[in-house]
Amino acid sequence: MKKPKDYIIFPLDVSSREEAGHYIRLLSHEIGMFKVGLELFITCGPAIVKDIHDAGEARVFLDLKLHDIPETVKRAARAAGEMGVRFLTVHCGESMRMLTAAVDGSAGKTGILGVTVLTSVSADDIRSAGFRDEFGSDVTALVAKRAAQAKDAGCEGVVSSGLEVAMIKTVCGADFISVTPGIRPAWDGMKTDDQSRVATPAQAVLNGSDYLVIGRPIRDAKDPVQAARTISEEIQTALG
């Protein structure tokens, strides 16, 4: 049974195993998953995944955004599956074969999440990369197309902006997982930092998000444990 805290993914956006260890000890019992990105994984390797698994029930979201030939991605996904990570990210922009290879490699041991279009990519970037005008003038159309392809390839879900969740659920079905960054609790003053479009935890779960990536509102709070608990309560209330 999914608890409110299980919706929370805390990104370990730090550069050392020691610094990560501080947050792992602090938050293991307050959140559902830790996100390990390229910086930390390149620095620490699989040891960081073991640290998280040893600390408690929180799972690992390995955010490596793989993009390579299908065979290489398949082998990498197999290795991630063997480490027992809950989710692994793969770019959707290459080919259906690459997504299918990731799913095959994972052998059901880790869920593959597609990265549709990075939020740092603008409509101009899409046009200058040579995409058809329909995508250059409407990036959401490209997000929808790639989400549908990820679903067809057997991915468990996608990472998307909160504003795209409803569209993704319509295109791919309610069971297709949507992981949403850009979350800012109202009590934190809705500071946007460098996120351009933000939603509160309650808005995000009501929109259908299955997991919320929440970094700075927890990390920079005076009491990160209390911040995580307050967010869990907000999610609980929103879920009724």
Is 158 a binding residue for ligand C5P by CB under 6 A? The answer is: no
Distance in angstroms (rounded) separating the CA atoms of residues 57 and 138? 41
140 vs 195 by CB, closer to ligand C5P: 195
Size of the site for ligand C5P (CB under 6 A): 14
CB atoms within 10 A of CB 97: 14
| Residue 35 bridge partners (DSSP) | 11, 61
Tell me the CA distances in angstroms from 5 to 31, 43, 61, 79, 156, one per residue in order: 5, 28, 15, 28, 20
Among positions 102, 213, 227, 235, the unique one binding ligand C5P when judged by CB under 6 A: 213
Instruction: Please list, in sequence order, all residues whose beta carbon lies within 8 angstroms of the beta carbon of residue 111, skipping any fewer than 6 positions away.
Output: 86, 87, 88, 155, 156, 157, 177
Is 152 a binding residue for ligand C5P by CB under 6 A? The answer is: no
What letter represents residue 183's amino acid? I
Is 203 a binding residue for ligand C5P by CB under 6 A? The answer is: no
Is 224 a binding residue for ligand C5P by CB under 6 A? The answer is: no
CB atoms within 10 A of CB 209: 26
Q: From the CB of 115, what's the least distance to ligand C5P, in Å?
A: 8
Is 181 a binding residue for ligand C5P by CB under 6 A? The answer is: yes
Contact segment (CB under 6 A) with ligand C5P among 83-91, 105-113, 142-150, 209-217 equals 209-217
Q: From the CB of 189, what's the least distance to ligand C5P, in Å?
A: 14
Question: What tokens appear for 138 in the block?
Answer: 């409407």
- Are the C-beta atoms of 197 and 182 separated by less than 8 Å? yes
57 vs 193 by CB, closer to ligand C5P: 193
Chain centre distance of CA 161: 10
Of 50, 65, 109, 145, the active-site residue reads 65
Is 193 a binding residue for ligand C5P by CB under 6 A? The answer is: yes
Q: From the CB of 240, what's the least distance to ligand C5P, in Å?
A: 25
Chain centre distance of CA 232: 18
Is 21 a binding residue for ligand C5P by CB under 6 A? The answer is: no
Q: What is the per-residue binding string for ligand C5P in 106-145, x denoting contact by CB under 6 A?
A: -------------x--------------------------
Asked about 2 being catalytic, the answer comes back as: no
Among positions 48, 62, 101, 214, the unique one binding ligand C5P when judged by CB under 6 A: 214
Question: What tokens appear for 80 in the block?
Answer: 């991630």
Instruction: Please list, in sequence order, all residues whose beta carbon lies within 8 angstroms of the beta carbon of residue 106, skipping any fewer than 6 positions away.
Output: 77, 78, 80, 81, 88, 112
Is 11 a binding residue for ligand C5P by CB under 6 A? The answer is: yes
Alpha-carbon dihedral angle through residues 77, 81, 83, 88, given to the nearest 10 degrees: 60
Residues in the site for ligand C5P, rule: CB under 6 A? Answer: 11, 13, 35, 37, 119, 159, 181-182, 193, 195, 213-216
| Residues acting as catalytic residues | 65
